[in-house]
């Protein structure tokens, strides 16, 4: 009797899984693209519970990452290596995110993609809410720098995320009115 219960549960799981697969992949699926796990990330879609998963999936693949940012000026470049702990692979040159210019930066596809998502879904809405206008330009210090983490005592002994271009240091923004907002006081 107990074996029949396990078999019934497994069969039900297979049926539900098959139904779910067809519901996601059928051309007439009722699932909106943003909520369909089989559809790749698009930065134009509003974030939801699947966005983090779709973002990680896109960031892990160069072509998928670039395809998710159709409005960004991003060019794929040959990888670079500066020794065993430093380099950029995959390496892109990134100079705009949607309608926002960014000082040209060489970084990874994943950082460019995350920057594009942040610009569209966090930065621009916050700028409009707080200042009543859009950001037109993002300035930065850099993304790639083959260096160790810096501490109050000097070198930290561990490589910085900048050593593999997995970080970017933003320093200011320019609004539609021309007003410049610096992150640093002084």
In whole angstroms, what is the distance from residue 150 CA to residue 141 CA? Answer: 15
Query: What ranges make up the beta strands (E) of 82-153?
Result: 87-88, 91-97, 100-108, 135-142, 148-151
Residue for token digits 């907002």? 181
In whole angstroms, what is the distance from residue 91 CA to residue 74 CA? Answer: 10
pLDDT, position 1: 47
Average pLDDT (36-62) is 91
Q: What is the pLDDT of residues 72-110, one digit of tens each?
A: 888 889 999 988 899 999 999 988 887 899 988 999 999
Residue for token digits 């942040």? 118
3-state helix, strand, coil in the chain (%, to 5): 35, 30, 35
Average pLDDT (102-124) is 92
Q: What is the pLDDT of residues 11-40, one digit of tens each?
A: 666 555 555 555 555 556 678 888 888 888
Domain boundaries, the chain: 1-30, 70-182
30-56 in b/e burial notation, b at 16+ Cβ within 10 A? eeeebebeebbbebebeeeebbeebbe
Please give the mean pLDDT across all residues of the chain: 85
78-112 in b/e burial notation, b at 16+ Cβ within 10 A? eeeeeeeebbbebbbebebbbebbbeebbbbbbbb
- pTM for the model: 0.80
Which of 5-9, 84-88, 111-115, 121-125 has the lowest average pLDDT?
Answer: 5-9
């Amino acid at each position: 009797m107990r074996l029949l219960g396990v078999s019934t549960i497994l069969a039900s799981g297979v049926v539900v899984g098959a139904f779910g697969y067809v519901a996601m992949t059928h051309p007439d699926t009722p699932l909106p693209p943003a909520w369909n796990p089989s559809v790749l990330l698009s930065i134009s879609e509003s974030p939801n519970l699947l966005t983090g998963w779709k973002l990680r999936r896109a960031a892990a693949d160069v072509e998928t990452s670039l395809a998710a940012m159709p409005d960004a000026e991003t060019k794929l470049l040959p990888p670079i290596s500066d020794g065993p702990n430093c380099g950029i692979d995959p390496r892109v040159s990134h100079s705009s995110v949607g309608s926002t210019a960014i000082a040209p930066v060489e970084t990874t596809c994943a950082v460019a993609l995350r920057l594009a998502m942040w610009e569209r879904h966090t930065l621009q809405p916050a700028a409009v809410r707080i200042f009543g206008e859009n950001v037109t330009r993002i300035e930065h210090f850099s993304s790639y720098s083959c260096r160790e983490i810096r501490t109050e005592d000097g070198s930290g002994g561990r490589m910085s995320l900048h050593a593999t271009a997995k970080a970017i240091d933003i320093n200011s923004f320019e609004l539609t009115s021309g007003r410049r907002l610096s992150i640093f006081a002084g």
